[in-house]
Amino acid sequence: MAILYAAEAEEAAQWTDSLRALDQSLDIRFWPDWGDPATVDFVIVGGRSPGDLSIFPKLKAIQSTWAGVNHLLRSAGLPAGVPIARMVDRGLTGSMTEFVVYQVLDDWRRGPELRAAQKEARWLETLPRRAQDCRVGILGLGTLGIDIAIKLSALGFAVRGWSRSPKEAGSAITSFAGASALPDFLKDLDILVCLLPLTPETENILDARRFAHLPQGAVLVNVGRGAQLNEPDLIAALDSGRIRRAILDVFREEPLPESHPFWRHPHVTLTPHVAAITRAGTGADDILENYRRAMSGQPLLNQVDVTKGY
Ligand code: NAP
């Protein structure tokens, strides 16, 4: 009975130390030294596509240390029928909420303009804008989106969320559900935040057609996945002023090539996919719980619905 760590080597120590701190008896092996493939029951994978997992004949479950599993579901050698769990971790959720709340507050309180004015020693006396006057829309009202919605709403922002199924998220958060509700959701938003999983339905969802539903001068924050954004459409929307500013943490190609126009666009703020990461200290207990569940044939925590793709 062994756990195979098939994720990023540079993160191995923190995960295996945290797992062993919870249970010293765990037999944890490292790719590619798995020994007898028939003794591997549980595989931990990360942000890169793992190798061929179909070679483990008794594999009972695959655990991702990442919340998004789009790369895993597309990887070759993924054994059919083996349950997959994605990461839900309070450390990751907290980091993502801090990142988005910080970006929303910074933009709404005119952080970029004030910093630019200081560079020119210019006294830019602006009236502080009130949170209640800012309409924030969150695409994806799942684990991460709902936490952000609650925290922004507690600060007074007018928050709405869009998901596949309707949500009961409290009276202060308006729920929109399904493709037909998307135009109404986008209408009159000041700030649009994307926190959707990457699936065939959400690929290129941030495109000219959707931008046309936003009011002139809206702000886009993309912390979902890079392939959800049509990049030429965003450049055109920034140049026309339809989108006043884009804050991007995720990209089609990562690391973003040095020659990419986003690096130098005056209305793009970019961060190198650092909005949030899973923390072994807070994520290991759920992984151990899933290992135990897999060994006793119980359903996993945070099991991925492969038909939906998240
Ligand atoms: P989650 O709990 O699975 O939530 C996903 C949400 O998206 C759900 O509300 C779901 O609707 C909605 N959704 C999915 N497909 C949809 C569609 N076609 N139409 C409408 N709504 C749709 O996922 P999560 O944990 O919040 O994570 C979301 C994503 O954030 C991840 O998949 C990953 O790509 C990204 N992420 C980024 C970073 C970063 O550092 N930038 C870090 C972690 C995660 P239902 O609730 O109705 O199913």
Q: Is residue 200 part of a domain?
A: yes
Residue 169 binned pLDDT confidence (cut-offs 50, 70, 90)? confident
Q: What is the pLDDT of residue 246?
A: 99
Same domain, 139 and 215: yes
Q: In what order do the strands lie in the sheet with 84-85?
A: 28-30, 2-5, 40-45, 61-64, 84-85
Ligand 1 center to residue 224 CA distance, Å? Answer: 7
Q: What is the pLDDT of residue 310?
A: 97
Residue 170 binned pLDDT confidence (cut-offs 50, 70, 90)? confident
Cβ neighbours for 114, distance < 8 A, ≥ 6 positions apart: 124, 126
Q: State percent of the chain over pLDDT 90.
A: 97
Same domain, 128 and 218: yes
Could you tell me the two tokens for 285?
């207990």
Residue 297 has pLDDT above 90, yes or no: yes
Other CB atoms within 10 Å distance of the CB of residue 295: 13
Q: Is residue 98 part of a domain?
A: yes
Q: Is residue 309 part of a domain?
A: no
Among residues 164, 197, 229, 163, which one has the least CA distance to residue 72?
197
Q: Is residue 304 part of a domain?
A: no
pTM metric for this prediction: 0.96
Q: Is residue 308 part of a domain?
A: no
Cβ neighbours for 76, distance < 8 A, ≥ 6 positions apart: 49, 52
Mean pLDDT to the nearest integer, 194-205: 98
Residue bearing the bigger pLDDT, 48 or 205 = 205
Same domain, 160 and 15: no
Q: Is residue 71 part of a domain?
A: yes
Q: Is residue 302 part of a domain?
A: no
Q: What is the pLDDT of residue 1?
A: 87
Same domain, 244 and 97: yes
Ligand 1 center to residue 68 CA distance, Å? Answer: 8
Same domain, 282 and 194: no
pLDDT tens for 8-27 read 999 999 999 999 999 999 99
Same domain, 96 and 234: yes
Mean pLDDT of the chain: 97
Mean pLDDT to the nearest integer, 51-73: 97
Same domain, 191 and 240: yes
Mutation pick for ligand 1 pocket among 195, 202, 252 (CB with most ligand atoms within 8 Å): 195
Ligand 1 center to residue 127 CA distance, Å? Answer: 35
Residues flanking ligand 1, CB < 6 Å: 67-68, 92, 96, 140-145, 162-165, 195-199, 201-202, 223-225, 249-250, 273, 275-276, 310
Residue 163 and residue 153 in contact, taking contact as beta carbons nearer than 8 Å: no
Same domain, 60 and 204: no
Same domain, 31 and 136: no
Active site residues: 225, 273
Q: What is the DSSP string of 154-174?
A: HTT-EEEEEESS-----TTEE
pLDDT tens for 234-286 read 999 999 999 999 999 999 999 999 999 999 999 999 999 999 999 999 999 99
How far apart, in Å, are the Cα atoms of 172 and each of 33, 135, 178, 180, 245?
52, 12, 20, 22, 26
What letter represents residue 45's amino acid? V
Q: Is residue 301 part of a domain?
A: no
The total of structural domains in the chain comes to 2
pLDDT tens for 76-93 read 999 999 999 999 999 999
Residue 203 has pLDDT above 90, yes or no: yes
Same domain, 62 and 97: no
Residue 211 has pLDDT above 90, yes or no: yes
Q: Could you tell me the CATH number of the domain that includes residue 66?
A: 3.40.50.720
Residue 51 has pLDDT above 90, yes or no: yes
Same domain, 59 and 116: no
Residue 190 has pLDDT above 90, yes or no: yes
Same domain, 85 and 97: no
Cβ neighbours for 214, distance < 8 A, ≥ 6 positions apart: 186, 187, 189, 192, 242, 243
Structure-token match 């769990």, residue found: 85
Domain interval for residue 85: 2-89+278-295
Q: Does a cis peptide bond (omega within 30 degrees of 0) precede residue 255?
A: yes
